[in-house]
Amino acid sequence: MHIDALTTAALTAELRARAVGARVQDVVQIDRLTVSLELYRGDRHYLVLSADPQAEGLRLTPHKPRRGDTPSSPLALALAAHAEGRRLGAVDHPEGERILIFTFDADPPVRLVAELTGRLANLVLTGADGVILALARPVTAAMTRARVLLPGRPYLPPPTQLKALPTAVTVADVAGWLAARPDDLAAQLVVARMRGMGPLAAREAVARAAGDPAATAA
């Protein structure tokens, strides 16, 4: 499943409507990088979140996932300790990013950050002070010095792309992009210039505007 910022915004709207206010009844480890939160708000749903680059993403389902053979990870144990019995108080989405932030009404609150960022996907649980409590995929200084993610360290969000936000783009902006590179595919230009716009959404936008998803900028 390809997830871009538009998909993430749609997921946020759905989760706000269907999951905010629900109580976390249970935390289940499905596999090494995937956990499920059992949510109850009059009816029962399961929020499945994965940091697996091959299957990263999330879904809200009425069907109970099967517990895997993998022992509970530090993330699953920390979620059980800090979120079980608490309500999901908010779901936030930084505009233009592939990130969802789940805030649980603990005392003090804790936040689960779902970074739906492809090969760098991660699930990070932080305290109210922003310090990492546990995460699905630790990132050490030996792996990268740009953004170390380890328990006990402050959480640093992924670097923001230096592109235009979709809500701030004007018709004149798009016309300028296309005029500057008339031989390029229009969809590729949209992806290159607009933050959070994935290839599928860009091709759909071009198809609606020009009648052909493979249209050039000219």
Report pTM: 0.87
How confident is the model over 84-123, as pLDDT tens digits?
Answer: 999 999 999 998 899 999 999 988 999 999 999 888 899 9
pLDDT lower than 70: segments of the chain: 1, 56
pLDDT given at position 68: 84
pLDDT given at position 56: 64
Domain 5-135: give its CATH superfamily: ibrinogen binding protein from staphylococcus aureus domain (2.30.310.10)
Residues 6+ apart with CB under 8 A from 191: 197, 198, 199, 202
Domain ranges across the chain = 5-135, 166-210
